[in-house]
Amino acid sequence: MKFTNYSPDFGLFILRVGIGSMFLLHGYPKLVGGAEKWEGLAQYGLPFLPEGIICVVFGLAAALAEFFGGLLLILGGYHRIACGALAITMAVAFNAKLATISDVSSFAKDAGWPLELLIVSVALFFAGPGRFRLGASS
């Protein structure tokens, strides 16, 4: 049986919904964690930031990027803005995880997940949302 009607748009839809759902699930506990959680998140990813309100703001930004970026990926609206925010968040997460790598075999376990999501976010940024979306496509 030969299928000749493959749709890149449907493939992008599946990828957006799948990855967007994962971002949503990872972002929700961070978002509802409150100021203490946000400050810890920022201090982990950006240890050079001084403690206090600046850390809370950066941590909240990361939580918002994951949760609402995931939601926007699912819907396909404001696609490139969401992908850009997610790529920046994953670049910071990847950089933070680099310190935990002891050898080549520990790379995938310790730093693979944020690197993979960074790559997917950048790829989706350039690919666009595809036809199956709601809202604006920028």
Domain count, the chain: 1
Report the pLDDT value the prediction gives residue 69, as an integer from 0 to 100: 98
* Angle formed at CA 38 by CA 35 and CA 44, multiple of 5 degrees: 140
What pLDDT sits at residue 2? 59
84 within domain boundaries: yes
pTM of the model: 0.91
Low-confidence ranges of the chain (pLDDT < 50): 137
Domain that holds residue 68: 8-127
| Residue 135 lies inside a defined structural domain of this protein | no
According to the model, what pLDDT value does residue 100 have?
86
Sole residue written with tokens 């203490």: 36
